[in-house]
């Protein structure tokens, strides 16, 4: 009887340790400050594109500008997430504004970089976009599998 009880206790103990940790139990990574993220982004661009000092200064301005816009957009999204859904016209206006900003940003970067650097920058952006899509698909399929269980 003792052996059965001990074996059952061991099985329960092992089963509880074998469970995957949920997202809430995993330790959260400390978030970098905006300045730290901007600096790391600039250094990565400098390595990838071999930027000179002048180009670094100009790109630093663009990165800071983009970062500030991203932070305000995220704050707006959080504030509006509890309220209403956007209408089709509002979505169109937001998407149009976003695309206009992307076009303007692309023109600024094109003025700063050489033709070779710009081509490399475009390629890296496209590769990153493709990788993000793949990650999203993988995440979505994992999420759907867990929903089915």
Q: Angle formed by the axes of helices 88-112 and 53-81, to 10°?
A: 170
Query: Are the CB atoms for 62 and 105 separated by under 8 Å?
Result: yes
Q: How far apart are CA 77 and CA 90, in angstroms?
A: 13
Is the CB of residue 62 less than 8 Å from the CB of residue 109? yes
Please tell me the distance from the alpha carbon of residue 135 to that of residue 140, in angstroms, as a whole number: 8
pLDDT 10s digit of each residue in the chain, 149 long?
777 767 776 776 666 665 555 555 556 668 888 899 999 999 999 999 999 999 999 999 999 999 999 999 888 888 777 666 778 888 899 899 999 999 999 999 999 999 999 999 999 999 999 888 888 888 878 777 776 66
Query: Phi and psi of 34, rounded to 5°?
Result: -60, -45
- State the CB neighbour count (10 A cutoff) for residue 53: 8
Residues in Cβ contact with 117 at an 8 Å cutoff, skipping those fewer than 6 apart? 49, 50, 51, 55
Residue 73's pLDDT is: 86
pTM of the predicted model, to two decimals?
A: 0.67
**Using one digit for the tens of pLDDT, what is the confidence trace for 44-80?**
999 999 999 999 999 999 999 999 999 998 888 887 7
Phi-psi category of residue 20: left, alpha or beta, with phi > 0 → left and psi -120 to 50 → alpha: beta
């Amino acid at each position: 009887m003792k052996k059965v009880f001990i074996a059952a206790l061991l099985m329960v103990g092992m089963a509880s340790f074998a469970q995957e940790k949920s997202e809430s139990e995993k330790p959260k990574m400390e978030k970098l400050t905006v300045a730290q993220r901007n600096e790391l982004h600039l250094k990565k661009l400098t390595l990838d594109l071999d930027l000179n000092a002048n180009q670094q200064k100009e790109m630093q301005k663009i990165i800071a500008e983009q970062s500030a816009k991203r932070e305000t957009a995220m704050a707006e999204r959080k504030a509006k997430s509890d309220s209403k859904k956007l209408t089709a016209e509002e979505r169109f206006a937001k998407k149009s504004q976003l695309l206009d900003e992307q076009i303007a940003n692309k023109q600024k970067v094109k003025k700063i970089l050489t033709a070779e650097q710009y081509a490399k920058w475009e390629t890296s952006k496209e590769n990153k976009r493709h990788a993000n899509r793949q990650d999203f698909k993988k995440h979505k399929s994992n999420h759907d599998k867990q929903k089915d269980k």
